Amino acid sequence: MYFINQIPFTFDELPDESVFDLELIKLADNERRFEPEDLYQASYYLMLEECHPLMFVLELENPEMLPVD
């Protein structure tokens, strides 16, 4: 899950075999859960504010923290 000021805007898909990875499941169970509606509402808010990074060019404070493609 990727966030802007604690607002989720997108996520990475996990491979199908990850549903059998017990260590990954334990890690995920300790994190906040997001429903599709949560992501939809947060993304909509970011679009209204013209801050959604998938739709608008944004100046980044810490570009070194971005994942490498």
Is residue 15 in a domain? yes
* Residue 49 structural domain: 2-56
Is residue 37's pLDDT more than 70?
yes
Residue 29 covered by a domain = yes
| In-domain check, residue 69 | no
The verdict on residue 52 lying in a domain is yes
Residue 34 in any domain: the answer is: yes
Structure tokens at 60: 């980044």
Q: What is the DSSP letter of 2?
A: E
| Count of structural domains within the chain | 1
Per-residue pLDDT band at 21 (split at 50, 70, 90): very high
**Contact predicate 52/46, CB 8 Å:** yes
Q: What single-letter amino acid sits at 9?
A: F
Residue 19 pLDDT: 86
Q: Is residue 64 part of a domain?
A: no
- Looking up tokens 């994942």 gives 67
